[in-house]
Amino acid sequence: MTAHILVVEDDEEYITELQRIIAESGGPAIPTFVTNRDDAVAKLERGFFDLAILDLKIPTAAGTTDLDPEHGKYVFHHVRNVSPGTKILVLTGSPSDDFIAPLLAQKHDADIWSEGAKVDTVEFLKKIQIDQAPERISRVVSAIQALSDIELQTNGLNLSTGEDRLVRIFAKHFKALTCSVHPIGAGKSGARPLRLQMFDQTGALIREVVAKLGELPKMQDEDARYDEHVVLLDGAATPRKMKLLEFGAGAMAGLFYQLASGHDASMFKTMAEEDALAAKAVAATADALAGWSNGRNQERRSIASIRAQWVSDEWAAKLHADYGLTWAAEFERRQIQTRWCCVHGDLHGENILVSPQGGVLVIDYGDVGFGSAAYDPITLELSAVLQDNPTRGPDWPTADACRQWHDLEAYLVGCPMPEFIRACRAWSEKLMVGRRELAACAYSYLLRQLKYRDTDKDRILALLEGVHGCWGDS
């Protein structure tokens, strides 16, 4: 593999020396040289870098002479902000005692590339110590090259450089030599879920893993949500968190969960093949998540406060105006009884993996938090007609069927997965205080889907009419 190195240096003598050092670093490396703050920022915004070598006393832009260590410090902090997984080597001739300590305070000790030993994520050398730079740079280049020992079978997937790095680093940590990567259907969060199968040198399967790859703040947030909420659930239906990788992949980080063997189909795939098994899996999901809602008292809340957990007030007002939802503002002001508890928050059919016996494993905890108890089963039910579900055909649900959503029997006429829908609705009815809570949860989920660009707006609007009908029946 090739190491990508950003060099921010304005002194021609040191540029020449660093070119030589990188060329002799013992492995493939692509250096990108810039001489000023603005060009460095631009490269960081567009590129991927394993290592950033930073002079501090640099000008703001090409052709200027306003050299100042503050400009290099700005680049340092920009690396930390936009590419926090990139290792930094500060190489400067500026007097440094007064400002280098705050920079070094941001370092971490981490086994960045699964070498078996921790290294500093931020290092500092004075230019008079440049004779030490070859060893520092060669170590990074060698670590990146060693990741090539992991054979990735991508099965037609296109992985970004950051995604490729994370998968290889994780596989190397567990001493796998081959890793087969498979897609898991994603929601709308922007993070990428993958299924990994890792094999040792004999070809034996040693781990099956769910990887969630995305921006570092999102992965750190999901990690915290897991520790706070998911640990309260039955461990048989929730995968064990194995590792959070924060370094080695530029702007990206990865969360990795151990996957129990046998859960090979998503809920969507299951309902496409066997509706009754999908219904059984819905019941198993309800049992798996019951620890969040059991024993929770009712609360009095406005529909607006329920919706606000998933769609901001600003977004809601825009959607009401853009789609002519003239009834929505008054609807949101109404007060209802609800059971307020922890919920998954994104329980679509690709976030539940199903075994051949109907057992389940619930994945993806990026939206776990507090909400109305019925939100999860409503999300699961409606995801089947709004997301990439292979069961859903062009004939159902029609616009007329969507408008009958509040009348389950009328809604199910022509449905290709009626047992799944019935099971979701039964779960909702078990959790909800009344049909008004059902309407509030469905309204919140549908408004959330309405804001995404690639959703079926006509179907959502027809379903919203059906949801509004719940209020009249309650």
- What's the pLDDT tens digit per position in 198-245? 999 999 999 899 999 999 999 999 999 999 999 888 888 888 999 999
Burial status of residue 326 (CB atoms within 10 A of its CB: 0-12, 13-18, 19 or more)? exposed
- What's the pLDDT tens digit per position in 370-413? 999 999 999 999 999 997 766 666 789 999 999 999 999 999 99
**Among candidate residues 146, 173, 199, the one where a domain is terminated:** 146
pLDDT for the residue 474 = 44
Asked whether residue 428 carries a pLDDT value surpassing 90, the answer given is yes
H or E element that contains 192:
strand 192-199
Based on the domain organization, do 112 and 97 belong to the same domain?
Answer: yes
| Contact call for residues 300 and 325 (beta carbons, < 8 A) | no
Based on the domain organization, do 320 and 467 belong to the same domain?
Answer: yes
Give the count of domains, the chain.
3
Q: What is the mean predicted confidence (pLDDT) over 144-153? A: 95
- What's the pLDDT tens digit per position in 30-69? 999 999 999 999 999 999 999 999 999 999 999 898 999 8
Pairing between strand 205-215 and 192-199? Answer: antiparallel
Based on the domain organization, do 344 and 447 belong to the same domain?
Answer: yes
**Among candidate residues 122, 146, 170, the one where a domain is terminated:** 146
Based on the domain organization, do 234 and 314 belong to the same domain?
Answer: no
- What's the pLDDT tens digit per position in 83-122? 999 999 998 876 655 566 666 666 678 999 999 999 989 9
Based on the domain organization, do 38 and 179 belong to the same domain?
Answer: no
CB atoms within 10 A of CB 178: 17
pLDDT for the residue 378 = 97
**Which residues constitute the domain of residue 167?**
150-258
Distance CA 457, CA 46 (A): 33
| Nearest one of 122, 190, 177, 174 to 146, comparing CA atoms | 177
Based on the domain organization, do 356 and 373 belong to the same domain?
Answer: yes
Based on the domain organization, do 103 and 224 belong to the same domain?
Answer: no
Based on the domain organization, do 271 and 418 belong to the same domain?
Answer: yes
Based on the domain organization, do 331 and 440 belong to the same domain?
Answer: yes
Task: For residue 84, give the CATH number of its domain.
Answer: 3.40.50.2300
Asked whether residue 473 carries a pLDDT value surpassing 60, the answer given is no
Asked whether residue 302 carries a pLDDT value surpassing 50, the answer given is yes
**Percent residues over pLDDT 70 in the chain:** 94
Regarding predicted confidence, which is higher, 296 or 249? 249
Based on the domain organization, do 334 and 392 belong to the same domain?
Answer: yes
> CA torsion sign, 191 to 246 to 289 to 331?
negative
Distance CA 432, CA 457 (A): 27
Asked whether residue 189 carries a pLDDT value surpassing 80, the answer given is no
Asked whether residue 76 carries a pLDDT value surpassing 70, the answer given is yes
Task: For residue 251, give the CATH number of its domain.
Answer: 3.30.200.20
Asked whether residue 299 carries a pLDDT value surpassing 50, the answer given is yes
Residue 379: CB partners within 8 Å, gap ≥ 6?
344, 345, 346, 347, 348, 441, 445
| Contact call for residues 310 and 445 (beta carbons, < 8 A) | yes
Task: For residue 346, give the CATH number of its domain.
Answer: 3.90.1200
Based on the domain organization, do 330 and 450 belong to the same domain?
Answer: yes
**Among candidate residues 198, 230, 258, the one where a domain is terminated:** 258
**Backbone dihedral angles phi then psi of residue 119, each to the nearest 5 degrees:** -130, 165
| Confidence class for position 262, pLDDT limits 50, 70, 90 | confident
Based on the domain organization, do 28 and 132 belong to the same domain?
Answer: yes
- What's the pLDDT tens digit per position in 315-340? 999 999 999 999 999 999 999 999 99
| Confidence class for position 160, pLDDT limits 50, 70, 90 | very high
User: In the 8-state DSSP scheme, what is residue 58?
Assistant: B
Omega into 397 within 30° of 0, i.e. cis?
A: yes
pLDDT for the residue 221 = 94
pLDDT for the residue 454 = 85
